[in-house]
Amino acid sequence: MGTVENSDSLRKHYGEAIARRMERRKKLQKVIMFISTAAFLGMMSSGLGAMFRSNSQSSEVNQAEEVATIVSQLERQEQGYQSVLQREPENQTALEGLVMVRLQQNKLEEAIAPLEKLVSLYPDIEDYQNLLKQLKADTQTAVED
């Protein structure tokens, strides 16, 4: 209920377009924060788990299985987002998800196209523009190395 009241007060105070833009930014920030937190916790849990295992050989096997599971999950997520985008090419959530999954897969160059589409569809969202600039700089640096 507080979100509806908060949303209405934003609209009254800032106007409809600005309120929508602010809500989109908040949503994007939450998505990025959630993914970052999940990635951080995932790395921490695998690191702590490995530290407490006594048998290094079984630890290596378990880590390999975990990595394979994560890779498989990311591939399925990527396919799911692509499937949605075939039906709805301008779906903001699917485009954001595809960018994030590809970043997690370290497919930096493949993340550029959906991010460019987000920038063209939502030029008022600076987070997309900033992420695109950073991503292009990172891919350029990787090519030079």
Domain boundaries, the chain: 2-144
- The percentage of residues in the chain with a pLDDT greater than 70, rounded to a whole number, is 71
Specify the pTM: 0.58
Q: Which fold has domain 2-144?
A: 1.25.40
Please give the pLDDT value at position 31. 80
More confident residue, 57 or 105: 105
Residue 85 has pLDDT above 80, yes or no: yes
Residue 112 has pLDDT above 90, yes or no: yes
- Output the average pLDDT for the chain: 80
Q: From CA 110, how far away is CA 29, in angstroms rounded?
A: 22
Residue 81 has pLDDT above 80, yes or no: yes
- CA 26 to chain CA mean position, Å: 14
Q: From CA 44, how far away is CA 38, in angstroms rounded?
A: 10
Residue 6 has pLDDT above 70, yes or no: no
Structure tokens at 28: 């994007």
Instruction: Give me the sign of the Cα torsion angle 109, 111, 117, 121.
Output: negative
Please give the pLDDT value at position 26. 82
Mean pLDDT on 13-23: 70
Residue 80 has pLDDT above 90, yes or no: yes
Tally Cβ neighbours within 10 Å of residue 88.
Answer: 12
Please give the pLDDT value at position 11. 60
More confident residue, 119 or 56: 119
